[in-house]
């Protein structure tokens, strides 16, 4: 149970210099995570149905973001005591920003992460096909498959007591039967029989286009679920890349070297040679089954989803490495691995959109709060060049995607958009509700339980219309300085604080006073006299302004500090 190691800082310096470690496979990557102190390795037996995910969940309800790590379970059993010749890892892609950064091989800050992505998309590196790969060390087909089927894999139950399914959560590979171009997307594969998987696929996704094209031609759709590929493949599969852009090539761009791929045994698809497990099969575009409740990123179970039908995939083979590692992600109630991944992605996308596409040059940072599922609360930090820049930013952000965002808040550059307390401070003293708030319609939500009662109304067009609130919490005119000591005095205090051995500090912005425009030379002089112990001199100035009032004036109407 090592804590973060000095290696981590070395790694970041290494990444910063543009060098890459290039993890050959998941095992390579996990070894690095462990050395960097970012992996909890659990040796004792853990029951996959009842113990495994609750254990990982605890860290998301009880540890600070910076203390969260990936988990590797070496000894997984099922509820009957059955052992698996396999291991399970969870949270290794984005349990924290540190984990995400080590996986992506870049410094743990949003601008480095965004830059890394931009480069990989601009300069993809196509995969190379090889004849053999470790993923074919074990091949399960025919009667072998029929007998126990998918139960060979130690797939954990995510929310014991509420989950009505188990599932795969990583890359799902299909291809366009017309162009032959493959797509890797992050879709759930819900396991409901030795060879039966329901594919949770949504209109508008690339996989859906593949399904439609196969249906139109009366064909079955080849599919392969890749579990535990090199991390690059998994980050690329989770990103919403443009249609027709091969995720394996973007993964190669991230890795700085081509991803080696092998041809599947029973379907005509290429998969990473160094994957841990691949489930091959064929999706029947005419056969659908309802899905029972599952956990959502909103923090609630998705119920009433029986109306959401999923096409059936028939498994034709399972190929894997010897003693494979089953990898999954932890989602549902935020914060989670999926909310962290979305937070990073949305923050980058919205910042670039507002600054570069909408030309609001002063936009510095956009933060989606994980407590909102990295979905509903969006805080935009900007430096206004024009007094109404904040409103341009709010309107554009709210309009970017009809289904993303309920609360949009614009703040100044001295407010930390990621810190709820800092945002509360801005809301408290930099906006007036009657003047600086607008409520807008024209948003849509599939999952927000506040939209309509269970099974409730959709509008004429068949969707659930919801609303958003836009708040301009930026200063509208010069403000007095913040009521903190000036920087020089706080720095001096920090020196003394350390000298006398007081407890370690995690300073929050703002931690020293600064001028926001409404301050005069006379005040500056008074304040200087006060630090020199010359308050009697200030008193002499005040005496010149003494007023005599016959009947007693009665004090100010101010409140107390």
Give burial (CB, 10 Å; 0-12/13-18/19+) of 413: middle
- Answer yes or no: are the C-beta atoms of 37 and 146 closer than 8 Å: no
Instruction: Output 55 or 130, the one with its CB closest to its own copies.
Output: 55
Of 58 and 388, which CB lies nearer to its own copies in the complex structure? 58
First to last CA, the chain: 47
Q: Which class for 161: exposed (0-12), middle (13-18), buried (19 or more C-beta within 10 A)?
A: exposed
CB of 93 to its own copies, least distance (A): 15
- Angle at the Cα of 158 from the Cα atoms of 211 and 282, rounded to 5 degrees: 25
Shortest Cβ 79–its own copies spacing (Å): 5
CB–CB of 442/506 below 8 Å? no
Q: How far is the CB of 335 from its own copies (least distance, A)?
A: 8
Which residue carries 């870049």 as its tokens?
106
Cβ 37 to its own copies shortest distance, Å: 11
Minimum Å gap between C-beta 290 and its own copies is 5
Cβ proximity to its own copies, 130 vs 529, nearer residue: 529
State how far the Cα of 269 lies from the Cα of 264, in Å rounded to an integer.
6
Tell me, rounded to whole angstroms, the distance of Cα 75 from its chain centroid: 29
Of 160 and 256, nearer to its own copies (C-beta) is 160
Nearer to its own copies, 57 or 282 (CB): 57
CA distance 224 to 136: 14
Nearer to its own copies, 354 or 423 (CB): 423
Distances (CA, A) of 213 to 179, 207, 269, 315, 468: 11, 10, 16, 21, 36
Show contacts of 551-555: CB within 8 Å, 24+ apart.
none
Task: Give the dihedral sign, CA 4/7/12/13.
Answer: positive
- The nearer residue to its own copies, 322 or 496, going by C-beta atoms, is 496
- Shortest Å distance, C-beta 178 to its own copies: 15
DSSP string, 435-452: HHEEEEEEEE-SS-TTSS
Q: Which is nearer to its own copies, 106 or 201 (CB)?
A: 201
Q: How many CB atoms lie within 10 A of CB 528?
A: 10
Q: Min. distance of Cβ 165 from its own copies in angstroms?
A: 7
247: Cβ–Cβ under 8 A, 6 or more apart, which residues? 171, 182, 183, 184, 185, 233, 236, 237, 239, 241
CA–CA distance, 119 with 17 (Å, rounded to integer) = 15
Nearer to its own copies, 389 or 436 (CB): 436
CB 162 within 8 Å of CB 169:
no
Min CB(17)–its own copies separation in Å = 32
Q: Which is nearer to its own copies, 182 or 186 (CB)?
A: 186
Distance of closest approach, residue 533 Cβ to its own copies, in angstroms:
5
Return d(Cα 458, Cα 445) in angstroms, integer. Answer: 10
- Give whichever of 122 and 547 is closer to its own copies, judged by the CB atom: 547
Cis ω before 510 (30° cut-off from 0): yes
Residue 398 C-beta: closest distance to its own copies, Å: 11
User: What are phi and psi for residue 36, nearest 5 degrees?
Assistant: -80, 0
Taking the complex as a whole, how short is the minimal distance between the CB of residue 110 and its own copies, in angstroms?
20
């Amino acid at each position: 149970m090592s804590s973060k190691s000095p290696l981590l800082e070395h790694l970041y310096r290494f990444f910063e210099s543009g060098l890459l470690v290039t993890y050959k496979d998941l095992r390579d990557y996990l070894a690095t995570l462990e050395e960097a102190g970012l992996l909890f390795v659990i040796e004792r037996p853990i029951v996959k149905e009842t113990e495994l995910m609750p254990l990982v969940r605890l860290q998301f309800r009880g540890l600070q973001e910076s203390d969260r790590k990936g988990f590797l379970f070496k000894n997984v059993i099922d509820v009957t005591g059955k052992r698996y010749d396999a291991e399970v890892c969870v949270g290794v892609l984005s349990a924290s920003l540190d984990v995400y950064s080590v996986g992506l091989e870049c410094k743990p800050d949003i601008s480095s992460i965004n830059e890394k992505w931009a480069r990989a998309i601009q300069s993809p590196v196509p995969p190379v096909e090889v004849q053999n790969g470790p993923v074919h060390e074990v091949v399960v087909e025919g009667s072998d498959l029929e007998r126990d089927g998918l139960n060979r894999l130690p797939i954990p139950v995510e929310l014991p007591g509420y989950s009505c399914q188990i599932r795969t959560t990583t890359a799902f590979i299909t291809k366009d039967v017309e162009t032959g171009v493959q797509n890797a997307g992050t879709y759930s594969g819900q396991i409901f029989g030795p060879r039966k998987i329901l594919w949770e696929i949504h209109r508008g996704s690339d996989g859906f286009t593949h399904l439609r094209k196969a249906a139109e031609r009366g064909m079955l759709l080849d599919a392969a679920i890749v579990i535990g590929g090199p991390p690059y493949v998994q980050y690329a599969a989770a990103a919403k890349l443009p249609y027709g852009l091969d995720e394996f090539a973007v993964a190669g761009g991230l890795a700085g070297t081509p991803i080696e791929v092998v041809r599947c045994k029973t379907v005509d698809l290429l998969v990473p040679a160094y994957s841990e497990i691949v489930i091959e099969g064929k999706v029947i575009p005419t056969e659908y089954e309802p899905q029972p409740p599952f956990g959502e990123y909103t923090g609630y179970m998705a119920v009433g989803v029986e109306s959401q039908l999923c096409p059936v995939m028939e498994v034709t083979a399972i190929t894997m490495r010897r003693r494979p590692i089953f990898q999954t992600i932890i989602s549902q109630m935020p914060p989670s691995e999926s909310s962290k991944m979305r937070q990073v992605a949305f923050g980058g996308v919205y910042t670039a959109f507002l600054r570069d596409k909408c030309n609001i040059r002063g936009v510095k940072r956009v933060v989606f709060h994980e407590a909102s599922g990295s979905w509903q609360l969006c805080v935009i930090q900007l430096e206004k060049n024009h007094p109404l820049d904040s409103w341009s930013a709010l309107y554009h952000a709210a309009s970017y995607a009809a289904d993303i965002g309920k609360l949009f808040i614009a703040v100044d550059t001295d407010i930390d958009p990621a810190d709820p307390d800092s945002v509360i401070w801005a809301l408290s003293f930099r906006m007036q509700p009657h003047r600086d708030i607008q409520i807008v319609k024209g948003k849509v939500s599939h999952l927000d339980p506040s939209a309509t009662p269970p099974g409730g109304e959709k509008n004429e067009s068949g969707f659930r219309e919801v609303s958003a609130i836009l708040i301009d919490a930026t200063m509208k005119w010069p403000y007095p300085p913040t009521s903190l000591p000036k920087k020089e005095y706080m720095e001096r205090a920090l020196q003394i604080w350390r000298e006398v051995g007081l407890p370690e500090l995690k300073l929050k912005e703002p931690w020293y006073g600064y001028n926001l425009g409404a301050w005069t030379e006379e005040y500056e002089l008074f304040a200087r006299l006060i630090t020199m112990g010359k308050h009697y001199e200030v008193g002499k100035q005040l005496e010149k302004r003494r007023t005599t009032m016959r009947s007693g004036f009665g004090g100010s109407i101010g409140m107390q500090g």
